[in-house]
A and B are shown apart, each in its own frame.
Chain A
Amino acid sequence: MLRVFWCILSRDITLALRRRTDVLTTLFFFVIVVSLFPLGVGTEPALLRELGPGVVWVAALLASLLALERLFAADYLDGTLEQMLLAGQPLSLLILAKVLAHWVLTGLPLVFIAPLMAIQYGLDKAAIWVMMASLAMGTPVLSLLGAFGAALTLGLRGGGILLSLLILPLYVPVLVYGAGAVSVSVIEIADTKPYFSLLGAFLLAALVLAPPASAAALRISME
């Protein structure tokens, strides 16, 4: 079981590293979207501090969405997805490996680049730590939920737009509590713990529910 999981994980990461532009596009998209806001709304420090958490989180949401379409599409086109469905392995496990690879390539880099982005918004050190932690907990949820959407819209014409319409509403709770944690951390007496508890709960629920749901969706899409 573990061997198969590792095999798919390393396969997807190897593939992405051989086609680096795909990974870098997502990252640069994130950087550019976040950097555009200060240019647009002006450089009032108080305003930027207020906007920062929300902007970074919305950009992370969109960046994650950008890469989602490719999660199954490439494998679908060359027939490797078909082989995975027929592999004699639990499909949920294979999907979990693919999602983890997707997160390592698109979610994890955001966690590390977020501090640089936060500096543009004048967030202090404590808020930056909270932002990194909330992204680290929230972005896997985005990947997991996104996999479900990607599986449902696989092979449809205009699937990309449909995917956004389908998945963005599901991202709302993660956005609210992810950005909320950072906003609240700016206030001195505030406690961010409830926010993280909720993000953790989302993560666990998505971890348990998303892979089997995606597997079922994939089987329907492949018919």
Chain B
Amino acid sequence: MLEAEALACRRGDRMLFTGLGFALPAGSLLHVRGRNGSGKTTLLRALCGLLRPDDGSIRWRGEPITELAEDYNRDMLYFGHLNGIKADLSGIENLRIAATLDQDGCADADILAALARLGLAGFEDLPASMLSQGQKRRMALARLILSEAPLWILDEPFTALDTDAVALLEALIAGHVAESGTVVLTTHQPVQLTGGAIQRLDLGSGPSVKPAAGGVRSA
């Protein structure tokens, strides 16, 4: 489903990784690991098309994502460091907008159910600014429940979550992979799946990844 070939990304003068590649079939998870600053977020932003890699290609269902453009975006859900929710809007308003943008045809009842599942029942009508950090994160995670996208790209999704929410998110991810979805995620904690396959990618140390080498710099 998602394939990357000979990817190279740089941030400023520093080459983060070169020659990185993987092929991720449906129903599998790619766990990207690496120390801070090894380029995990850069890789994920490249995979979702926010950032153009300096070299290499990314294909979704066999076609380059740059050509698919909006079609690819519809198939993909990105969950980054920023929650992507407006502090002045309530949970239900935020999710309604997210659902419209992603064209997930979900009714208000679905949104309420998703919020309830994340333990936010009773907080639906409060502006997000009144919620705690963890609650905001949970609100943003409700998008995972509502989304119909087959590909999830999750950047450190477990930050700011308590143990209950971590367990729930793990269940969501495992469920998505079991339903032959595809997940790419970065996290520092161990990942377990009930079904499907896990691939691991270590940035900054793996065989396919070389740290900043002199030769690569000349463009």
A162 within 8 A of B: no
Chain B residues near A3: list those with CB within 8 A. Answer: 100
Chain A, 1-31, CB within 8 A of any chain B CB: 3-4, 7-8, 11, 14-15, 18-19
B92 within 8 A of A: no
Chain B residues near A82: list those with CB within 8 A. Answer: 50, 78, 80, 82, 84
Contact of B50 among A4, A11, A15, A85 (CB under 8 A): A85
Known: A80-B84, A82-B82, A86-B78. A15 touches B89 (CB 8 A): yes
A80 CA to B78 CA, complexed, in Å: 11
**How many residue pairs between the two chains, A and B, have CB atoms under 8 Å in the bound complex?**
76
Tell whether, in the assembled complex, residue B84 and residue A88 are in contact, meaning their CB atoms are under 8 Å apart. Answer: no
B76 within 8 A of A: yes
A60 CA to B102 CA, complexed, in Å: 37
A47 within 8 A of B: no
Tell whether, in the assembled complex, residue B97 and residue A88 are in contact, meaning their CB atoms are under 8 Å apart. Answer: no
B86 within 8 A of A: yes
Contact of B76 among A4, A7, A80, A86 (CB under 8 A): A86
A197 within 8 A of B: no
B159 within 8 A of A: no
Tell whether, in the assembled complex, residue B101 and residue A4 are in contact, meaning their CB atoms are under 8 Å apart. Answer: yes
A89 CA to B97 CA, complexed, in Å: 13
Tell whether, in the assembled complex, residue B88 and residue A19 are in contact, meaning their CB atoms are under 8 Å apart. Answer: yes
B59 within 8 A of A: no
A79 within 8 A of B: yes
Tell whether, in the assembled complex, residue A11 and residue B87 are in contact, meaning their CB atoms are under 8 Å apart. Answer: no
CB distance from A223 to the nearest CB of B (A): 5
Q: Which residue of A lies closest to B153 (CB)?
A: A86
Size category, A interface? 20 to 34
A86 CA to B51 CA, complexed, in Å: 11
Tell whether, in the assembled complex, residue A86 and residue B100 are in contact, meaning their CB atoms are under 8 Å apart. Answer: no
Known: A15-B88, A18-B88, A223-B50. A88 touches B82 (CB 8 A): no
Q: For the complex of A and B, list the 5 residue pairs with the smallest distance between their C-beta atoms, beginning with the closest.
A: A79-B82, A88-B74, A88-B73, A79-B84, A87-B101
Q: Can you list 16 A-B pairs with a CB-CB distance of less than 8 A?
A: A4-B101, A7-B96, A11-B86, A78-B83, A78-B84, A78-B86, A79-B85, A80-B86, A83-B101, A86-B78, A87-B102, A88-B75, A88-B102, A88-B103, A89-B101, A223-B52
- What is A's interface to B at a CB cutoff of 8 Å? 3-4, 7-8, 11, 14-15, 18-19, 77-80, 82-90, 222-223
Other than the given A88-B70, A88-B71, A89-B103, 13 more pairs (CB < 8 A) read A4-B101, A7-B97, A11-B93, A15-B88, A78-B83, A78-B84, A82-B82, A82-B84, A86-B78, A87-B102, A88-B72, A88-B74, A223-B51
